[in-house]
Amino acid sequence: RGFEFDGIYTLTDTVTMLASVGYVHSKYENLISDLTGDFIIDVFDYALEVPRAAPLTYSLGFNIDGDLGSWRSITRLSYYHRDKSYYNENNQGYINKQDIVNFGYDVYSPDGKINIGIYGKNLSNEVKHGGDTNLSFGGTFSPLAKGKIIGAEVVYKF
């Protein structure tokens, strides 16, 4: 059970706000196999969190259109949150909560052929797991996504 709401709102002629919120209350209701590894389905199995179901997610972003001389510009700023969630059924592996901040600024030539941009992704440098799987011989397999990324891009359309 839960809800999700997404919206795009035009605040002014040049400012657009993007917002979302999602909540899920996930619980096991009918289990057909043991999740805790004790070979019985009991209250401990039902107490586990459903994997990869972060209870709360939300985001807020702004796009700001502008001019830089005869060139058009767009500024983007966004914030994303996702609660901690468990990765596997026995809840031994989990994905940390994340609070991600992104920024971008692009300028476009009057003829639309040139785009020059700078950007920052995950500016808060949050750890981003691709998963957290316990291995049978000990340890975990927890691939990491890139942390903070700062970059620039130049695009020319022929």
pLDDT of residue 75: 98
What global pTM score does this model have?
Answer: 0.81
Percentage of the chain surpassing pLDDT 90?
Answer: 66
pLDDT of residue 127: 82
State the DSSP H helix or E strand holding residue 156, giving kind and residue range, or none if neither: strand 149-156
Taking 70 as the pLDDT cut, the residues of the chain under it are 130-143
Query: What residue spans define the domains of the chain?
Result: 2-156
Long-range (24+ apart) CB contacts under 8 A made by 145-151 are 146/122, 147/122, 148/120, 148/121, 148/122, 148/123, 148/124, 149/119, 149/120, 149/121, 149/122, 150/118, 150/119, 150/120, 151/118, 151/119, 151/120, 151/121
